[in-house]
Structure 1
Amino acid sequence: MPLDQYPVRASIAVSDIDVAVAFYEGKLGLPVVETGPSARIAGGSRIYGSGGGPALNVYQSTTAGTTEATLATWYVDDLDRVVGELTEAGVEFARYEQFEHDARGITARAGGGRIAWFRDPDGNTFAVEADA
């Protein structure tokens, strides 16, 4: 059976679940859908909701922060508002030399629209983007 018949979630490895909880719940404001173990760590994982359903599996692992690729992207209607709210919550937006960013860290997206990247405490990269 094709995979397009099933929901998909991003899985994010973190080095310290307590630090991750402060970021994902405190700064990003994501609601906890479920908690559970991660390997041998009781309470070492969280499933966070976004967009009306489960969206991110965050779990403690020794592989945390080992990729520079964007792991998940939120598609938003008002990028300026969302970036402003995240900045007020203490989220810092990344800047890359190959792109021209505005003062808030927003840059033009390939193919049109705009995008801004940020990282969690382990260096995992996320994006928020909009078509306008």
Structure 2
Amino acid sequence: MLTATMVVATIPVTDLEKAKHFYGEILGLKQLWENPASVRYRCGEHSELSVFKRPPVETVHTLAHFEVDDISTTVEDLEAKGVDFLDYSEGPLKTTKHVAHLGPALGAWFKDPDGNTLGLRQG
């Protein structure tokens, strides 16, 4: 059986300086440490996120999502900082003002400077 004290989302990036600006300044995550190949951030009380430098890769799914208390306010705040949200109008996922209903939960998605899809979730 696997036991762990924490699971850390790890996201590939091509430019650590751009990533540091996006994750630290735009998203407002607290930087814990960095080395020449990666940067680690605190996300809330019990989560961390790591970005690491590597050549370009293509991902087509959400790599990490942030649990938030008020998704609409968070979307508005991030949009005011220049974050572009993804909107969906076909299939089971439809967004209104960038937010989709996922059963009893709400979700919204955006991309980092490397095109990695990240999400917000409330509920």
Q: Report the TM-score, using the length of structure 2 for normalisation.
A: 0.89
- Aligned equivalents of 1:108, 1:56: Cα separation in 2: 25
AA aligned to 1:61 is R
Shift of 1:107: 1.1
After TM superposition, the structure 1 = structure 2 runs for residues 43-58 of structure 1, keeping only pairs within 5 Å, are 45-53=38-46, 55-58=48-51
Residues paired across the two proteins, number: 121
1:41 aligns with: none
- Aligned equivalents of 2:63, 2:17: Cα separation in 1: 20
* 2:113 equivalent to 1:121: yes
- Aligned equivalents of 2:34, 2:46: Cα separation in 1: 15
AA aligned to 2:42 is G
Task: Please list every run of 5 or more consecutive structure 2 residues that lacks an aligned counterpart in the other structure.
Answer: none
Shift of 1:63: 4.1
- Aligned equivalents of 2:11, 2:117: Cα separation in 1: 10
1:100 aligns with: 94
2:4 aligns with: 5
Decide whether the 8 Å contact of 1:47 with 1:54 is kept in 2. no
Identity %: 34
2:59 aligns with: 67
Task: Please list every run of 5 or more consecutive structure 1 residues that lacks an aligned counterpart in the other structure.
Answer: 39-44
SS in 1 for 2:94: coil
AA aligned to 2:88 is Y
AA aligned to 1:51 is G
* 2:17 equivalent to 1:21: no
Decide whether the 8 Å contact of 2:89 with 2:95 is kept in 1. no
SS in 2 for 1:3: coil
SS in 2 for 1:20: helix
Shift of 1:102: 1.4
**Residue by residue, what CA displacement relative to the aligned partner does 1:80-107 show, whole Å, maximum 9, x if unpaired?**
111111111111111234232213x111
- Aligned equivalents of 2:53, 2:65: Cα separation in 1: 21
Shift of 1:10: 0.6
Please tell me the root mean square deviation across aligned C-alpha atoms, in Å: 1.5
Shift of 1:123: 0.8
